[in-house]
Amino acid sequence: MSDSFHGISIGTERRQSDIYLTLTLSGKLTHEDYITITPIIEEVIKTVKSPQVYALIDAIDFKGWELRAMWDDFQIVLSHSHEFKRVAIYGGKKWHRLAALIVNWVISGEVKYFRDKNQAILWIENKS
């Protein structure tokens, strides 16, 4: 993979008031990536009166953020901190685990780091 390749792909699914987001992060994210993705996330969340968001973040090819993109990410998480119920971060780098710990301080729900994608999916799906 080239270092210049970057972006965010998103999958969304709604089950009553539960919203499932699947985000795949690649390369080093830019502000422009967030200009594209933020309205999608906002639109999905606002379709439900009291949403409960379950997110799977695939960070295996994620290299980090440009400074402004990091701020964009923080704003999304902060503005919806009470709506996130579970966030699974799947990755392979030590700093991915640290990112999970930081996000856990900001949102009211649970955040957990996984090195195995199937375990991350099972944890997100098991809401008990």
Q: What is the pLDDT of residues 2-57, one digit of tens each?
A: 456 788 899 999 988 899 999 999 999 999 999 999 999 999 998 888 899 999 99
Find the mean pLDDT for residues 53-75.
91
The answer to whether residue 122 scores a pLDDT higher than 70 is yes
Whether the predicted pLDDT of 104 surpasses 80: no
Global pTM value: 0.85
Nearest to 88 by CA among 79, 97, 78: 97
| pLDDT, greater one: 100 or 72 | 72
Contact between residue 73 and residue 59 where contact means Cβ atoms under 8 Å apart: no
Nearest to 110 by CA among 44, 69, 55: 55
Residue matched to tokens 């949403």:
51
